[in-house]
Every structure is written in C-alpha cells, then in structure tokens.
Amino acid sequence: GITPDQLLEAGLLREREDGPPTELFFNRVMFPIRDRRGRMISFGGRILGDGVPKYVNGPETVLFKKRTSLYGLDLAKEGAFRGGAVVAVEGYMDVIALHQAGFGGAVAPLGTALTTEQMEELWRLTPEPVLCFDGDAAGARAAARAAEAALPLMSPERSLKLATLPPGEDPDTLIVKGGPGAFQAVLDGARGLGDALFGLIAEGRPMATPEQRAALRNRLMEAADAIKDRSLAGEYRRLLLDRFFQA
C-alpha cells in the first residue's frame, strides 16, 4: 500500500532522468537512523563490496534534518542517564563498536562535521560531552573546526572535552586490539577545551618575528571574544595569554 511518490518523499527512491525511480540503498548494509525519542526518521547504507560512495545517508525530508540529527542519540540518552560519558565519534561502525564495548553514550554526526545544532543536542545530554578525533592532521583540523563552532555557544554551565585517538586507529580497531580499556584510556586523556584551544590555534603558526607573534596573539583574542558569556570570555583570554607568553 506504499506508493512510489511516498517512497520518493521519504528518500528511499530517487528520480532518474532516463527512467523510473531507482532505489537509493541498493546492495547496501542498512543503518536505521532514529530521533531522540527512538522514532525512525531515515537510513544510512554502506555498500557491499567496492564502490563509491562507500556510505550514503537518506536525503533531507520533512522527517530528517541532517544538521540536527545524531546517530545513536536515542540510545545515548539512556547511556547518559546511567552515568556514561557522552562521546561523539566519526561514523556508524564506531558508535556500534562502542555501544557493544559498554560505552552507551556514543553518538556520531551523519557524514558531516559537527554542527551547532548537534552540539546543542549533546549539551542536552551532559554539560561536558567528549568529541573524539583521529590522531592525524585531518583529525586536528576537525577538532579545530569543532572548537570554533562551539565557542559562541559555551557558558560556565556547558563546555567540551577533546579526545584524540592513536594515529591510524578508530574506536572499532582500538577496541578489537586493546579491549574497552584501550578506549577508556583515550577518554581519560581527554583535555578540556581551555587546555586544548591554544594548541589548536597555534599549531603550525610561526612565532619567530614580532609580526608573527602579534598575529597569533590577535587570533587567540578573537577566539576568546567569540564566547558570548563575558565572564567566561575573560577567563579564556587570561588562559590563552598565559599560554602565549609561556610559549
């Protein structure tokens, strides 16, 4: 009793110029995507075998807004209630591996960098979620982007921690090799945003000349000034300047 028009509207079929609609998720392993109340709103799919793209998410629909959705959010709500760390990782398989290993607060954005709306969802679960990034240059860039997006939203009541995986590892491979304790060590080593921010901004910036040092100092002050809560912005200015003069 489901019509092709309904399947198109739900994002399960897609239009073709040269024929009838085709399946979006043909020959893929399916991942149900649910909202925070556990209601099905879309799917993701990983290709079986070789092919591009490796992962596909359903398109934006009246039910599914990618910017506001997190994979595993309905389960992480329960994990957070039971005292587990809320940790944002990269993909579906990372979330599944972490939940299987006992980390019930794991979630993932849906193929994009964390948005401000997704951070708001994380803060609804806990005042200090952990963002977990790969231990390579791309992971450092992703951490810097997340920090920049978070700064205007922060307050004395809500912050972030940043955790870094060992180079070449993701949560799934790390747990296979070292068990849950290996990932717990990553969480235990997470740094507060205040501690991590100087390194994220100063990484790769030269400080040999007065002009270069002034440029870095201005950039650090811009980051602190992005925080809308004035008292917290003042604390970040002091912290970043202290780190600047130490360096």
Distance of CA 172 to the CA centre of its chain: 16
**pLDDT at residue 135 above 90?**
no
Please answer whether residues 147 and 200 qualify as being in contact, where contact means their C-beta atoms are separated by less than 8 angstroms. yes
3-state secondary structure of 144: helix
Q: Which amino acid is at 172?
A: D
What are the pLDDT digits (tens) for 53-82? 899 999 999 999 999 999 999 999 999 999
Q: What pTM value is reported for the model?
A: 0.89
Average pLDDT over residues 162-168: 93
Q: What's the confidence (pLDDT) of residue 221?
A: 96
28: pLDDT confidence band, cut at 50, 70 and 90?
Answer: very high
Please answer whether residues 110 and 57 qualify as being in contact, where contact means their C-beta atoms are separated by less than 8 angstroms. yes
Distance of CA 71 to the CA centre of its chain: 10
219: pLDDT confidence band, cut at 50, 70 and 90?
Answer: very high
Please answer whether residues 159 and 128 qualify as being in contact, where contact means their C-beta atoms are separated by less than 8 angstroms. yes
Task: Say how far apart CA 219 and CA 208 lie, in whole Å.
Answer: 16
How many other C-beta atoms lie within 10 A of the C-beta of residue 116? 12
Q: Which pair of structure tokens corresponds to residue 246? A: 């130490």
DSSP state of 107: E
